[in-house]
A and B are shown apart, each in its own frame.
Chain A
Amino acid sequence: MAEPVVLLEGVRKSYGDKVVTEVLKGVDLRVDRGEFAALVGPSGSGKSTLLNLLGLLDRPTSGRLAIAGEETAGLDDAGLTRLRGHAIGFVFQFHHLLPGLSAAENVMMPMIAREGRTAKAMVPRAVALLDRVGLAGRADALPSALSGGQQQRVAIARALALGPPLVLADEPTGNLDTRTADQIFDVLREFNRELGVAFLIVTHDPRLAARCDRTIDLVDGAIVSDRRRTAEGAAPHR
């Protein structure tokens, strides 16, 4: 498939009625399937805002936004929910797991949301995903019983539950120690390599950004640089 997973043309976003602040000032961006890209930039430059637009949690003020080949301008709320459900997985800085649900149930949540009901067949798939992120045997644990790194692994498994072509990660390692951050990054990289899932990762850590195939630099609501590495940098290490 040739169509990109993300296609932005002249996207602007402003907030406020009386005092209008323009946060995104005309962003053009294209992300293809299987890419592994870092989104960097100073705090307040609009990274989260951009990710919210890509994640269809918010609408651009103007400009074109297409996800997985589908134009979003004409979609109503239900249409956005459907597209979000099958095309996008989220990993947030704070894991945002549901505290009342077990690890496996959290991973199943996107499947449950899509099917509209729980089903027995979802459990083995959730357990398999938890295995892959290194949480074999913790399927029944509540989030409060897991460490920060483990919680973030559950969140990653959840983001991949429906096998979306695109995963958006907003500072996924932002509140983890370096070692744990590296491990989480490895997990993301593996999913990217093995399943061809495209990742767009917001990070403040230049070390981690350097391990991505592409670095997009957002400053004051505009992309100031967009560099691709031809050869993969440092090999994943443990």
Chain B
Amino acid sequence: MPISWFLALRFLREGRMQSVLIVAGVSVGVAVMVFLSALIDGLQTSLVAQTLGTQAHVVVRPPDEVARPLRRPEAGVAVAARVEQTAQRARSIVGWQQVVTALAAMPGVTEVSPVVTGPAVALRGNATRAVVLYGVDPERFGRIYPVRQRMVAGRFDPTSTSCVIGRELAVDLGVAVGDRVRLAAVGGVGDVYLVAGVFDLGNREVNRRWVVVSTRAAQTMLDLVGGVSSVDLRVRDLFAADAVAADVTARTGLVADSWMKTNAQLLVALRSQASSSQMIQFFVILAVAMGIASVLVVSVVQKGKEIGILRAMGTARSTVLRVFLLQGALVGLVGSVLGTALGAGLGAAFAASARNADGSPTFPITVSLALVARSAGVAFLTGVLAAALPARRAARLDPAVAIRNG
């Protein structure tokens, strides 16, 4: 064993009480760090998942129609004209097949789902509800929204004769799987559809409004035969959705809205949560560092005589330096191992206690390997840095003075 290890271990063993206390202190600090990070990560993950359960990461649609004057005003000529803006109509993305192929080929994009969507009404008996009609390819739609996993009755099987609706709408209309409803464009006659399934996407508004049918059925009903009104995208990196949207606009000239733009407030909340968590972690690390440093400073003062003896017996200054750095590093390391275990345990206990009525965790608390590695690394580095000052002091001790004062 190298001399610095030998001495560091013996010193730690000798000051057993101090060592135990400071390791405990570091452990608690690291546990707080790990638990807090896991908690906030879990909270954010579940918030984002909840939001994105009913939203595509990016929605691509045709640009808004803008009325332009037929005559451009020439220099020196005043034109008395008022440009009346039109109401927006349901329009198709021009050449949408090529657009879909191009979008699917983009590096950040993982799933692409063309959608035909527009306002409609659902009727049964004397109940009438305004709804949003979605004509989709079930396969592709299912890869963007977790609707298959969220069926509460029947199957997710929208066709030309059957539809899938949300739970609230089913209650409003008083229908169940196997019943029929009439779906029509606003002012149109429409058709009767079989209710093939009922979903619960965890959002009342969505459950009350969404009616999913096949692409063809929606095209017919909304007078968009052969076209699609928008394309939903799923991207690889959630928080790069902004960049992907900008890229889509640059490539296709279409309007692309990312979830980050539509949920700006949520994003601000997530960011401020993240920064307050970082702040707390910073102060915890500071407290840990000061704890380690103060214990080692005291130890250097107490061990002044012993350090002098070691030096008198031919121990190099650099060795003395390393002995104290190692003590800090070991305390940091052991503390971080215990601390991450404690933090993970706390997280598991918390997840177990905070459950929904159906027994599923309110939100997932996952202590990732990366988090553990990062906390351990930070604690280790903190230990070394905190030990640096006392270690330098120890190495500078004059052996003669140390012995004389003994």
In the complex, which residues of chain B have a beta carbon less than 8 angstroms from the beta carbon of A100?
10-11, 13-15
Q: Which of B316-348 contact A (CB under 8 A)?
A: 316-317, 319
Produce 1/0 per residue, A32-74, CB < 8 A to B: 0000000000000000100010010110000000000000000
Q: Are A81 and B311 in contact (CB under 8 A)?
A: yes
CB distance from B392 to the nearest CB of A (A): 15
Please report the C-alpha to C-alpha distance between residue A158 and residue B310 in the assembled complex, in whole angstroms.
12
Please report the C-alpha to C-alpha distance between residue A99 and residue B13 in the assembled complex, in whole angstroms.
11
Please report the C-alpha to C-alpha distance between residue A92 and residue B305 in the assembled complex, in whole angstroms.
12
Interface of B is mostly: helix
Q: Are A85 and B313 in contact (CB under 8 A)?
A: yes
CB distance from A117 to the nearest CB of B (A): 5
Q: Are B2 and A55 in contact (CB under 8 A)?
A: no
B125 contacts chain A at the CB level, 8 A cutoff: no
B2: contacting residue among A77, A114, A117, CB under 8 A? A117
Closest to B317 in A: A77
B404 contacts chain A at the CB level, 8 A cutoff: yes
Q: Are A57 and B406 in contact (CB under 8 A)?
A: no
Number of interface residues of B (CB under 8 A): 27
B403 contacts chain A at the CB level, 8 A cutoff: yes
Please report the C-alpha to C-alpha distance between residue A158 and residue B3 in the assembled complex, in whole angstroms.
16
Q: Are A117 and B309 in contact (CB under 8 A)?
A: no
Choose among B1, B14, B306, B314 the residue with the greatest number of A CB atoms under 10 Å from its CB.
B314
Closest to B306 in A: A98
A78 contacts chain B at the CB level, 8 A cutoff: yes
A199 contacts chain B at the CB level, 8 A cutoff: no
A113 contacts chain B at the CB level, 8 A cutoff: yes
Please report the C-alpha to C-alpha distance between residue A115 and residue B309 in the assembled complex, in whole angstroms.
17
B312 contacts chain A at the CB level, 8 A cutoff: yes
Q: Are A82 and B314 in contact (CB under 8 A)?
A: yes
Closest to A142 in B: B14
Q: Are A101 and B400 in contact (CB under 8 A)?
A: no
Closest to A161 in B: B313
B399 contacts chain A at the CB level, 8 A cutoff: yes
CB distance from B141 to the nearest CB of A (A): 67
B6: contacting residue among A82, A96, A112, CB under 8 A? A112
In the complex, which residues of chain B have a beta carbon less than 8 angstroms from the beta carbon of A114?
314
Q: Are B317 and A113 in contact (CB under 8 A)?
A: no
Produce 1/0 per residue, B284-320, CB < 8 A to A: 0000000000000000000001100111111111010
Number of interface residues of A (CB under 8 A): 31
In the complex, which residues of chain B have a beta carbon less than 8 angstroms from the beta carbon of A109?
310, 313
CB distance from A162 to the nearest CB of B (A): 8
Q: Are A113 and B3 in contact (CB under 8 A)?
A: yes
Closest to B6 in A: A118
In the complex, which residues of chain A have a beta carbon less than 8 angstroms from the beta carbon of B404?
48, 52
Q: Are A84 and B312 in contact (CB under 8 A)?
A: yes
Q: A109-B313, A110-B313 are in contact. Are A98 and B10 (CB under 8 A)?
A: yes
Q: A81-B316, A113-B313 are in contact. Are A118 and B10 (CB under 8 A)?
A: no
In the complex, which residues of chain A have a beta carbon less than 8 angstroms from the beta carbon of B406?
92, 94, 96
Please report the C-alpha to C-alpha distance between residue A109 and residue B3 in the assembled complex, in whole angstroms.
9
A96: contacting residue among B14, B305, B319, CB under 8 A? B305
Please report the C-alpha to C-alpha distance between residue A96 and residue B406 in the assembled complex, in whole angstroms.
8
A-B contact sample (10 more), CB < 8 A, given A112-B3, A117-B1? A57-B312, A81-B316, A81-B317, A92-B406, A96-B305, A99-B306, A110-B313, A110-B314, A113-B316, A116-B319
- 30 contacts across the A-B interface (CB closer than 8 A): A48-B404, A52-B400, A52-B403, A52-B404, A57-B399, A57-B400, A78-B316, A84-B313, A90-B313, A96-B406, A98-B10, A98-B310, A99-B14, A99-B306, A100-B11, A101-B10, A109-B310, A109-B313, A110-B314, A113-B3, A113-B313, A113-B314, A113-B319, A115-B3, A116-B3, A117-B1, A117-B3, A117-B6, A118-B2, A118-B3
The 5 A-B residue pairs with the shortest CB-CB distance, nearest first, are A85-B314, A100-B14, A57-B400, A113-B314, A58-B400
